[in-house]
Structure 1
Amino acid sequence: MDQSTSVTELNGVPMTNTPHLLAEDRPEFERILDEALRDGSIVESLRAPGPHLNSEQLRTKTLLAADTVAAAAASEYEHYTGLRANLRQSDDSSVSAGGLSTRLHSEDGAGFFPVLTVLTPILAWAAAAVLLLIGYSLRATDPELALGKAVVTAGWISIAVGIAALSVGIIGLLLTALRDGSAMPYGQDRQLSDDVAEARLAWHTALRDRAILPYLHGNLDSEPALSPQPATRPTPPDLLSPGYSTASYSSPGFTSPGVEGLTDQEGRQPRAAEFSSPGYSPPGFTNPDEG
């Protein structure tokens, strides 16, 4: 037998073993499992009298065997994951091309014409203000002076040029916005996206009808799955159990000082206290008559 196509059994039926479910698809498997547990046939079987697994035990056992259960919908899953990979590759290529195109457009757009459309109105209106100020000043001095009339006319022409340049810039911005808005965003292949959505729905249907529901029905009367047991901690000894003895403690040995509370110079051997009473002698008095 070819190593790439090993065989496994699901409810006694041999079938091709597919690669494990991807981590991103396991939440979908769990969601479809919850829907299958709410199916009418499963609910009726769970309510039937007799020894059988409950809903939570069935759910745990199916999740632990997710790769084996999902093998019944192998062809739909392979088709779905293949289309999804193609869509992601197409999106990545389109985003890369779009980034390059945007960069080239930005480099080309920063040319003479855009700068001219921005600077022309500003320069034209600044020149118009200066020309009109000078022209009307000259006309105020001498109304018949031809130079004054020419300067005023030049000022009004500058205003018109600025308005025309501003209008051209606004029209260019509108055309650019309309062009960008009508273009399809990068990375969106409508047909391929529809194919991926259809393949995903087909996998969900096959996973529910051909994989999960038969597995649930086939394992109602089976043994429950053994969940991993947590590591046990050592229990403390029972103080009330027979044969248990508490630890013995003894107080440190102390020796009291000697009878009189004194020791020798080294502080080890008690010795008797020695006292000597002070000597007193009565004062000598003489009779004053004898004196």
Structure 2
Amino acid sequence: MAYRAIPYLVTRSAKREARTDPYATERRSLPNRTHGISYASSPCRSARIRTYTPSEAVRPASASAQSALPEAVDLKRVLAAVLVMLLVFILSAFLGIYAARAASSLLGDEAGAFANPFGADNETRAESLSAPQSTWEEGNVPELYQDDPQWADRPYGSSTIGAAGAAPVCLAMVRVAVTGDVQTDPIDVASFSQRSGYADSPDATALLTGGAAELGLAVSAVDASEMALRREIVAGRPVIAVVGAGVFGPSATYVVLSDIDEGGRLVMNDPLSDERTSRRWTFDEVLGQTTALWSYASAG
């Protein structure tokens, strides 16, 4: 580009003629080309991309990995939930018992049987199992019970042995101890009583006297005194007592007085209760409830 407004001076050297450029210093500092800078079309160095393996200690867990990790268990919440469930269970049990008792009191015995499908009688029956027949022997009165499942549901009179069979069960116990016949059980004695018409009597006096004689037993009435009762038992003659309502049940029933223990108390076999059978009784306790007594021996 020409410089138009600047005067141009030309000097001559002493040795040779030459033009002196006053802008030479400035021109050397300018680019090689007056119309711009020329750049290479491609970079001088090739681009290199370096990759680095990420460190597990530095790299954050991915979203999927974080979602797969289980959350921390809050022990306090777990314990609180368990306590709440236990409280609900206990409260429900108490409410159920209260509702059953309320229904039983409102509807009577039928509701009580519904609340307890097994029934109190079945609980007693499970506990009142008679002595096994293999243990029966002469000289010992076996413990036999009316509500034993072996014969409780067998008919007797207008009822069953379980409900009204105290007399034939007592007579079966006495007969085993006196005669040693271990084959005749309460079912056999009850069947005999039915066939002979004794089961239809208003009480069991006829069975325990005349019926016992037919079964091979010698029967003797006993005075209701301690001396008379003690004499019969010491002689090895078991006694059947008729006891009134009260201590031994809500109505008159029959028990066997089989022995006297070392403390001078009576050993009793109560066909209605294994609890009363297991305890020992004073003479006054028994005689205070007794209305009649018979002792038994072998007629042969």
TM-score normalized by the length of structure 2? 0.16
Give the helix-richer structure, 1 or 2.
1
TM-score normalized by the length of structure 1? 0.17
Higher relative contact order (CA 8 A, sep 6+): 1
Which has the greater radius of gyration? 2
